[in-house]
Amino acid sequence: MTETHKTESELHEDDAPKGERIAKALARAGVGSRRDIERMITDGRITVNGEILKTPAVLVDSLKGITVDGNEIASVSDTRLWRMHKRKGTLTTHKDPEGRPTVFDQLPDRLGRVISVGRLDMNTEGLLLLTNDGELARWLELPQNEVVRRYRVRVYGHVRENDLKKLKDGVTIDGVHYGSIDAVLEQGGAANSWLSVAIREGKNREVRRVMEHLGLTVNRLIRTHYGPFSIGTLNPGAVAEVSNKQLHDMLAAFFREEKSSLVAPSKTRDTSKWAKAKTKKAVKPGDKRRRKFKAEQRRRLEGKPIDAKPAQDSRGRKEGKLTLNTKAGTKPKRTAPKRPQSPKESS
């Protein structure tokens, strides 16, 4: 008899794939980003139960028996995040073949295994985020999440404010397109000027290349904000952990996605056959609280203050409720909240 293969939709619940991809599991354990781990697999640095792993297309339900460079992987711990004031002249890498100083050389041992959220050039200073969760680092780096990075930039050359305004529409340089950039002249000078620059993609040397395109030379670059997190009063080289409450408040969207991605497979209602559980939409139509929550999260990622004003409709009125008329064919009309009835009005 010829052997037949079932498609995923034909699998019963008991046949559903278990666990998660090994790259994601190791990223959550803080080994590195998914891309880093895939490179480690290609280089033969990861083993499972003593055998060298040759493909990232492997599902695991625990880290038991997995080693990286011969070292066992500790179990996944709670997600943590640190703010670091990176010094100028240090590299954002774990090891440098030339022996130059790195940010990880300066970290206290108590932090354990951590990775950086993105990178800063050797001569760029300011806020660098560190985490023990590769999935969080990936989420903060993804361009589609539009997490805003803010910089103070000192440039040499003549600043044309009209050129800065044009960056709002994005710019293409040597075949590379850079998305919308907010650039404002803070302080002009005879030779050097200070700019405030906000980007949403974080491409390699983005700020420097865009400024060079405008005929300006960057001679100092300081990152002050990454999404809702700021450098604050951190001294150069200092590290401070973000509290668990602040982390969950500021990045609630990430933790909601992580929770939904770990939901076990479920049966479909009509066929009782296995299907992957779908992620619920973050915002349901008509749910004011969820709409407000999403708006607040977006403002946090953009580093903007939360506006506590009551929700209003497109005409600037406070949102009320819609009631249906009893007559057929009539449209819903907006009514004000009912006031208490007097004894004469009650029936």
What digits encode the pLDDT tens for the residues 93-116? 988 999 999 999 989 888 888 889
Contacts 24+ apart (CB under 8 A), 231-235: 231/83, 231/85, 231/126, 231/127, 232/83, 234/83, 234/84, 234/85, 234/127, 235/85
How far apart are alpha carbons 180 and 218 in whole angstroms? 19
From 95-99, 164-168, 300-304, 329-333, the region with the lowest mean pLDDT: 329-333
From 38-42, 80-84, 122-126, 304-308, the region with the lowest mean pLDDT: 304-308
Given 96, 121, 182, 249, the catalytic residue: 121
Q: pLDDT at position 296, please? A: 65
Q: What domains does the chain contain, in order, with CATH numbers?
A: 10-72 (3.10.290.10), 81-244 (3.30.2350.10)
307 is catalytic: no
Structure token digits, residue 271: 């066929």
Please choose, from the candidates 87, 142, 83, 92, the residue with its C-alpha nearest in 3D space to the C-alpha of residue 121: 92
pLDDT in tens, 133-184: 888 888 899 888 889 999 999 999 999 999 999 999 999 999 999 999 999 9
How far apart are alpha carbons 246 and 95 in whole angstroms? 31
CA dihedral 18, 20, 23, 25 (to 10 degrees): -110
